[in-house]
Amino acid sequence: MVNEPEDTGLKPKLAPVSRSRFRLLRHYAEACLIVFLALGGLGLLAAGWIAAHGVSARDAPTVLEGIVARITRHLAVPAKERRRTNPIPPSTEALAEGMAHWADHCASCHGNDGRGDTEMGRNMYPKAPDMLLQKTQGLSDGELYTIIKNGVRLTGMPAWGSPGPDEDSQTWKLVLFIRHLKSMTPEQLEQMKAMNPVSPMAKEAAREADAFLSGSDAPEPSTPTHTMPQPGASRKEKP
């Protein structure tokens, strides 16, 4: 015969430890639910905003987007990188190299003068910035270097340097050039126009314009509606 345990009339009590653990779990679940609902709400807001505004790149980003993007980008550049100063001392040769590099690779979006007022630069989202302003000039040398080398995610700014920690003197010369933008002379801007890449289509348009202006029987030059940015093409224009 098995002896039944004596009924003491007392309910089993939870140990104090498991009760506090239970409370902790409940708080954790509540916190998860709040975060989940908040994210869901933000998602709905974002969906509504996109439905109302579309995804066109023509608009200018809102002030809030601009601030969030700049803070995020700032935080994404490690402090050690940000503190770096340009190891290339300013010299006529280094500046000339940076200028030639810029005219060839960067001017299509940023313009020879760095103001970003090109067909491509002003139709992007976010737009290519006016680099003469404090927003750009206030960035440290190291920050400019990192942005050029690694590009900026979710924007039109490509990564130009090779990946990895190696030094890239070409990129440092571009940083020198960005610092020089405010002192650009009209002669330097003219020199750069001659270094801008020109597409076969723009070359043909310039040839047609030359033939028309010189009074030959050439038909009036056509104006393509989808021109690629060709800052250098204008050097062919006649007064």
Task: Confirm if 143 and 77 have CB atoms less than 8 A apart.
Answer: yes
Is residue 161 close enough to count as binding ligand HEC by CB under 6 A? no
**H/E element holding 224?**
none
Q: Could you tell me which of 176, 202, 183 has the C-alpha nearest to residue 108?
A: 202
Closer residue to ligand HEC (CB): 69 or 228: 69
Angle (nearest 5°) at CA 62 between 56 and 63? 160
Is residue 174 close enough to count as binding ligand HEC by CB under 6 A? yes
Closer residue to ligand HEC (CB): 40 or 87: 87
188, two tokens: 């330097």
Residues 133, 148: Cα–Cα separation, whole Å? 17
Quick one: which of 96, 156, 184, 208 contacts ligand HEC (CB under 6 A)? Answer: 156
Is residue 135 close enough to count as binding ligand HEC by CB under 6 A? yes
Closer residue to ligand HEC (CB): 108 or 196: 108
Quick one: which of 112, 136, 146, 196 contacts ligand HEC (CB under 6 A)? Answer: 136
Give the nearest distance from C-beta 164 to ligand HEC in angstroms. Answer: 18
DSSP code, position 128: P
Considering only residues 32 through 71, tell me which ones interact with ligand HEC, judged by CB under 6 A: 69
Give the nearest distance from C-beta 217 to ligand HEC in angstroms. Answer: 39
Query: In residues, how long is the chain?
Result: 239
SS3 199: coil
Is residue 197 close enough to count as binding ligand HEC by CB under 6 A? no
Quick one: which of 88, 95, 99, 148 contacts ligand HEC (CB under 6 A)? Answer: 148
